[in-house]
Amino acid sequence: MMERVKTVCLVLWAFAVNSMAEEYKDRALRLMNDTPLIDGHNDLPWQMRNMFNNRLSTVDLYDLNTTHTNIPKIKAGRLSAQFWAAYVPCDTQYKDAVRQTLEQIDVIHMMCQKYPDVFQFAASSQDIMEAFQKNKTASLIGVEGGHSIDSSLGTLRTMYQLGVRYLTLTHSCNTPWADNWLVDTESEPVQHNGLSDFGKRVIREMNRIGMLIDLSHVSEAVMKQVLEISEAPVIFSHSSAYSICENKRNVPDDVLLEVKKKKGIVMVNFFNNYVTCQNTAKLSDVADHFDHIKTMADASIIGFGGDYDGVPRVPEGLEDVSKYPDLVAELLRRNWTDEEVRDALGRNLLRVFRDVEAVRDRLNGVQADDEPIPLNEVQNPCRTDYGYQEKSSSTRTQALYPLVLVLTWIITFL
């Protein structure tokens, strides 16, 4: 008799648990129906390069099953807006980084052109909402790594004109003007103690043109300098909480508090090694990062930054982009309010985006910074120096002018 009672109790308990899980999932889907889920970082464009050399004509994003991201998974995950990464590796620095980055920007535009019923190109906060109303995935561009602009403010501005809306200041290498996160691990030398003078000018120019400043991948010194310098809020497009996993790619608590003061956003990364500092992780481990950031700072600075298709390992339960609703359901199970979840889904990022646009509009009359980086900070065998050379040649000619006059006088009287 007792065994029968135990069995009945276990069945009733399992039924109650499943019923609660379904209730959280249904509630998550309802919230995602009225608030756009905006993810800060996805590397599908790099997979297009890596697997197909950007020949989008040879791949069908409905059928592609070797990536974390395809169209059916996007629909199942209710992914309303995505910052696609225009990423090229650090070994392109001083070589062909600009060309390679332009090709990644191009493939994102081609994705939108090939699948117009699925993707709508977006370059503003308003564009995101317009795509959401049409049940399309707003497709934005973020350039991942300052090496992609080749230390050129003109290139930065040109990329903005092509639709780029954030720049990750470094990837996993120093640029001639900013230190990357690896200097904090002591595996790379400190070069600039954060930002160089030119790096600070990059920040001001990004404020002026309305480009979001992404602090994922930068050193802690760069984080703190940018938070002090920038007139606009900043983002971490794919970083997690350092107190939960002590990896230097994550955000320390004191920086989280500064992000709160700046009214910025930290978009939580799903890579196992940044979630648990191990090769394995679970969905609940990612939720721990959401909880910590909310407790340490506020739900108003949290977002989603999965890093899908840019990492080799993702948590159990978050195997691909179709799984976002399960993470939202877990937050609800942890007593997040509907309003807190809506903020994390997309309202925080939209607020940051609008604030960046407001700073741009306020600085509308400020002249563009057209002063190039000093030649000695970028000179290398792969770089020509036409503008600098012209200036230096003129200086040399002026210095030689008295000698030319003397030689002319001597020849005249010989």
- Note whether 210 and 163 are within 8 A (CB): no
Residues whose CB falls within 8 Å of the CB of residue 67, separated by 6 or more in sequence, listed in order: 44, 47, 309
The count of other CB atoms within 10 Å of the CB of residue 199 is 24
Neighbours of 290 (CB within 10 A): 26
What separation in angstroms does the CA of 204 have from each of 213, 228, 358? 10, 11, 14
- Of 147, 192, 238, 289, which one is the catalytic site residue? 238
> How many other β-carbons are positioned within 10 Å of the β-carbon of residue 292?
20
Cβ of 118: how many Cβ atoms within 10 Å?
17
C-alpha span between 38 and 350 (Å, rounded): 9
Residue tagged active-site, from 192, 217, 289, 292 = 217
Return the DSSP state at 172. S
Tell me which of 41, 68, 147, 289 is the catalytic residue: 41
Please report which helix (H) or strand (E) contains residue 121, including its range.
Answer: strand 119-121
Query: 3-class DSSP state for residue 125?
Result: helix
Q: Which of 43, 127, 285, 355 is catalytic?
A: 43
- 171 is annotated as an active-site residue: yes
- For residue 216, give the amino acid letter: S
243-274 burial: b if 16+ Cβ within 10 Å, else e: bbbebbbbbbeebbebbbebbbbbbbbbbbbb
Active site residue 307: yes
The three-class DSSP label of residue 128 is helix
Per DSSP, 308 falls in state B
Annotated active-site residue 217? The verdict is yes
Strands (E), 21-115: 37-42, 79-87
Q: Is 144 a catalytic residue?
A: yes
Annotated catalytic residue: which of 171, 192, 289, 292? 171
Selected catalytic residue, list 39, 127, 144, 291: 144
Residue that is written with structure tokens 């904090």 in the block:
184
Query: Of the residues 220, 288, 307, 340, which is catalytic?
Result: 307
Measured distance CA(14)–CA(350) in Å, rounded: 40
Phi and psi dihedrals of 56, rounded to 5?
Answer: -60, -25
Q: What phi and psi, each to the nearest 5 degrees, are found at residue 301?
A: -115, 15
Which positions are annotated as active-site residues?
41, 43, 144, 171, 217, 238, 307
